[in-house]
Amino acid sequence: DTGDAPKKQKRERGERGGTKKKKAKAGDEEEGAEKGDETEVEEKSKSRGVKRGTEAGRLDDEVLPYVKEVTLLARANEFEADEDRQLFVDNVWRELKMKKSEQLVRLITHKDGSAAVESLLPLSSSKQLYRICRGLKGAMARVIFNPYGSHVIEALFGFVPRLVNASMDELTKKGEDEDDEDDEGEDDEDKSALEPLEKMFQATCDELAGGW
């Protein structure tokens, strides 16, 4: 019996050691599973952020002073004549390349850019307002859930009645913001393929379906 005692003690120590190893292994597996869940949640969050447009737009540093100045001048609206006001808006459209959809989205989803675009809306022509609506087609998920872009969209909706009542000539008339080289043949295309607002609205609803 005395000789069996050391063997028994070794066996008990071995069992205790094995139990500790199993617990440690289970703990590592549980920790790994938690990290995996956190990674999955983070990836889903990132994916949802991209889908819902929570990422902010980026503007070049050299553009920002001009963008801020546009906001101040547009809000002040101290132009001597309507022609001066329209010339100002046309120049801004040309300088900021707002006819390009991707550039428009960058502006609207940027803190200072969104303020500039929103301040320009009351001063813009019906054609320019229509262009904003058309330029945002396919990018609404990036804009409407964006903290800056959502304000622009809300303000833009206020001009929908004006667009509904606009004539074909108002929506296709060539302005000073258009360069001949960049817009060759665009007017003819606009007249023959001017998309109705209700169709753009339906496309927006389809784009946002399931994203709320």
Mean pLDDT computed over 156-171:
81
Q: Are 149 and 60 in contact (CB under 8 A)?
A: no
Does residue 13 surpass a pLDDT of 70? no
**Which residue matches tokens 């980026």?**
58
- Name the percent of the chain lying above pLDDT 70: 61
Chain segment 34-46, per-residue pLDDT in tens: 555 555 544 544 4
Inter-CA distances, 92 with 102, 121, 152, 173, Å: 16, 12, 17, 18
Cα–Cα distance, 191 to 85 (Å, whole number): 26
Chain segment 51-80, per-residue pLDDT in tens: 444 456 688 888 999 999 999 999 999 999
Inter-CA distances, 58 with 109, 110, 163, 189, Å: 8, 6, 29, 31
Q: Which two tokens stand for residue 81?
A: 């004549």
Between 37 and 207, name the one with better pLDDT. 207
Question: What is the reported pLDDT for 124?
Answer: 92
Q: Lowest-pLDDT range, 20-29, 109-118, 119-128?
A: 20-29
Kindly provide the residue ranges of all beta strands, DSSP E only, lying in 111-196, ordered along the sequence: none
